[in-house]
A and B are shown apart, each in its own frame.
Chain A
Amino acid sequence: MKKISALWGNVFKQNTDDRSIPSILRRIPVFSSLSKTEMRLIEKIVYLRNYHEGEVIFVEGEPGAGMYIIESGKVRICLGPNIDEEHEIALLEQGDFFGELALIDDHPRSATAVAILPTRLVGFFRSDLISIINRSPRLGVKLQLNILQILVRRLRITDQRLNETTESLIDLQIKLESEPQADRPKEK
């Protein structure tokens, strides 16, 4: 991963070569604590989608429907309508996941996702999560708790980065104030 975004980067990555759907799902924090029986139920619910190179998975601003897990291929996450490397905020690979915020609500997507290689994704969607909550509350609670843990972890990372940025800004301000007036660039 070139750059890590607290929201889009995979901060949960584990390395393994097993590419079967249950093993891929098990490596994702959302499904990590599920039993074999529960995992079989999830396997029946998830969607398998194939994307060709350069095909858009979702576009920034569109209502989100759920999360994706990369079974094979690579996905670029970009801000804005341009999907070139310059606008990339994260590059995701096999076993990575993205879009999990859409499991909570249909708020518009905050970035665009595009497959940069022939890519196979496993999709898990909000309507299915709601159906699980209605039909099997125990499993629903497990999934919700796992999603909550992901969000908390991302929030902590964001908080930490915000603190670092604030500290850097304060340092910069102090530095600027300590510099002689004459050395400062003139405002136009």
Chain B
Amino acid sequence: MMILSQRPKDMPLIFRPTFKLTALAVMIILTIAMLLWIPDLLSSFLMTIILVFIFSPAVDYFERHGITRINAILLVMLGVLLGMILLGMLLSSYVFGEYEGLSSRIDFYSSMLNDEINRRVVELERKFGLERFEVGQKVLSHFQDELHQAVLFTGATFGTVVTWIALVPLMLFFFLLDGHLIKRALIGFLPNRYFEMSLNIHEKISKIVGNFIRAKLIESGLVGAISLVGFIIIGIIYRPLNYAFVLALLVGLFNIIPYLGPLIGMIPVLLVAVVQYVLLPQFPEFGSEVQVASNWAPVAWIFGVVTFSHIVDNVYIIPVLLGHAVNVHALVVLLSVIVGAKLLGITGMIISIPLASILQTLVFEVADGIRNLRH
């Protein structure tokens, strides 16, 4: 009686499963080594993977309407470039001005807050006769550094950005054009026993991760938009919130990080609001020559608007957009955010989430596939 998994000795070397697996492992190790060795190549590569998931549906759409794939890719990339230029022209003076202002002022803002807290601590010391609160000082100083990094995105240095601009569009073009050939070549290296399983895993990962990344992008855009509308309304009622556009952008961007993102995104918003409306209401930068009294009400409203945007997100947006997408486990989120922050700062924290979803899906699907093979 013949049983499964027979293997003749005279099989050509290149068809042997051990050879194929070794060749694949060597290729993967060399690729990882190269990515880690060349500075910024890893972040460019990861960014490209995320962008491939975002742009693929648009390229497929144009191809579906009779445009060749290469032209469809060029069309999408040129469209994005033109869109960025137009948006830049329309909003550059406003957004970049805001960003520049916020970047240059963030240390001042946090030191203002620091001083204010210090003043309160001294008051408490006097009142209760306590020793100086050294730990609190250290925490505040650390907080100031972190905040500076958060707003300036120091994880993405000038060099990194230049590398991204040079490499990402190029890699994106080839990944969109020949992605299926790369997949075919990699899967071709797998032994026959794991061939079908890998195809099934690839199919599921592409679907789940693609949906997740696109849904996260839309979700963050909506959260940022709700916050911006709220900031504008509050600005009309009280005084315009400084850097409203950039702050709403940060709320949306940080919202990509589940659990922690809403809290991180809230920090710069509250900092600016507290300094502007409470600590320094008469500061000349805010355009008020007239003395204005401190007011906690707009700060409370701003806090309310950001909280409201996250409630809408959790109650309406997430169930609709991410209902069928992969749910990244809280522990995975925490670990990936820590690793991402360590490697690439704030940028790393944000791109770590889609990457964690890829990794989580990969682990679950491979485990599932191996279980199926055993049965």
**Shortest distance between the CB of A61 and any CB in chain B (Å):** 6
Most buried by B among A55, A106, A134: A55
A159 at the interface (CB under 8 A from B): no
Contact B200 A106 (CB under 8 A): yes
**Shortest distance between the CB of A26 and any CB in chain B (Å):** 22
Contact B206 A127 (CB under 8 A): yes
**Shortest distance between the CB of A101 and any CB in chain B (Å):** 14
Contact B4 A51 (CB under 8 A): no
Contact B2 A49 (CB under 8 A): no
From 130 to 146 in chain A, residues with beta carbon under 8 angstroms from any chain B beta carbon are 130-131, 134-137
Contact A51 B192 (CB under 8 A): yes
Q: A55-B7, A82-B2 are in contact. Are A47 and B196 (CB under 8 A)?
A: no
Contact A54 B187 (CB under 8 A): no
Which of A1-9, A63-71, A173-181 forms part of the interface with chain B? A63-71
Contact B192 A57 (CB under 8 A): yes
A114 at the interface (CB under 8 A from B): yes
B2: which A residues are within 8 A, CB to CB?
Answer: 54, 82-84, 114
B7: which A residues are within 8 A, CB to CB?
Answer: 52, 54-55
Partner of A56, one of B5, B64, B199, B202: B5
B-facing mask of A117-133, CB < 8 A → 1, else 0? 00000010111101100
A82: which B residues are within 8 A, CB to CB?
Answer: 1-3
B133 at the interface (CB under 8 A from A): no
Partner of B184, one of A47, A83, A134, A137: A47
Q: From A83, which residue of chain B is reached at the shortest CB distance?
A: B2
Interface residues of B, count at CB 8 A: 31
B8 at the interface (CB under 8 A from A): yes
Contact A127 B4 (CB under 8 A): no
Q: From A131, which residue of chain B is reached at the shortest CB distance?
A: B180
**Shortest distance between the CB of A52 and any CB in chain B (Å):** 5
**Shortest distance between the CB of B313 and any CB in chain A (Å):** 29
Question: Could you tell me the distance between the alpha carbons of A53 and B7 in the complex, rounded to whole angstroms?
Answer: 8
Q: A57-B192, A84-B1 are in contact. Are A65 and B200 (CB under 8 A)?
A: yes
Q: From B17, which residue of chain A is reached at the shortest CB distance?
A: A55
**Shortest distance between the CB of A106 and any CB in chain B (Å):** 6
What DSSP secondary structure best describes chain B's contact surface?
A: helix
Contact A54 B8 (CB under 8 A): yes
B4: which A residues are within 8 A, CB to CB?
Answer: 56, 59, 81, 83, 112, 114
A-facing mask of B65-98, CB < 8 A → 1, else 0? 0000100000000000000000000000000000
Q: From B69, which residue of chain A is reached at the shortest CB distance?
A: A135
B195: which A residues are within 8 A, CB to CB?
Answer: 47, 49, 123
Contact A52 B11 (CB under 8 A): yes
A64: which B residues are within 8 A, CB to CB?
Answer: 196
From 146 to 167 in chain A, residues with beta carbon under 8 angstroms from any chain B beta carbon are none
A-facing mask of B172-210, CB < 8 A → 1, else 0? 000000001000100110001101110110110010000
A52: which B residues are within 8 A, CB to CB?
Answer: 7-8, 11, 15
Question: Could you tell me the distance between the alpha carbons of A63 and B375 in the complex, rounded to whole angstroms?
Answer: 11
B372 at the interface (CB under 8 A from A): yes
B373 at the interface (CB under 8 A from A): yes
A168 at the interface (CB under 8 A from B): no
Q: A58-B196, A61-B375 are in contact. Are A135 and B64 (CB under 8 A)?
A: yes
B63 at the interface (CB under 8 A from A): yes
Question: Could you tell me the distance between the alpha carbons of A82 and B3 in the complex, rounded to whole angstroms?
Answer: 6
Contact B203 A127 (CB under 8 A): yes
Question: Could you tell me the distance between the alpha carbons of A63 and B15 in the complex, rounded to whole angstroms?
Answer: 24
Contact B180 A45 (CB under 8 A): yes
B291 at the interface (CB under 8 A from A): no
Q: A45-B180, A47-B187, A49-B192 are in contact. Are A55 and B200 (CB under 8 A)?
A: no
B188: which A residues are within 8 A, CB to CB?
Answer: 47
Contact B63 A135 (CB under 8 A): yes
A-facing mask of B296-320, CB < 8 A → 1, else 0? 0000000000000000000000000
From 1 to 38 in chain B, residues with beta carbon under 8 angstroms from any chain A beta carbon are 1-8, 11, 15
B107 at the interface (CB under 8 A from A): no
A-facing mask of B93-134, CB < 8 A → 1, else 0? 000000000000000000000000000000000000000000
**Shortest distance between the CB of A35 and any CB in chain B (Å):** 15
Question: Could you tell me the distance between the alpha carbons of A30 and B328 in the complex, rounded to whole angstroms?
Answer: 39
A23 at the interface (CB under 8 A from B): no
Q: From A53, which residue of chain B is reached at the shortest CB distance?
A: B8
5 contacting pairs across A/B (C-beta < 8 A): A55-B6, A64-B196, A114-B2, A126-B199, A134-B64
3 tightest Cβ-Cβ pairs between the two chains A and B:
A54-B6, A127-B203, A65-B196
A interface residue numbers (CB < 8 A to B)? 45, 47, 49-59, 61-66, 81-84, 86, 106, 112, 114, 123, 125-128, 130-131, 134-137
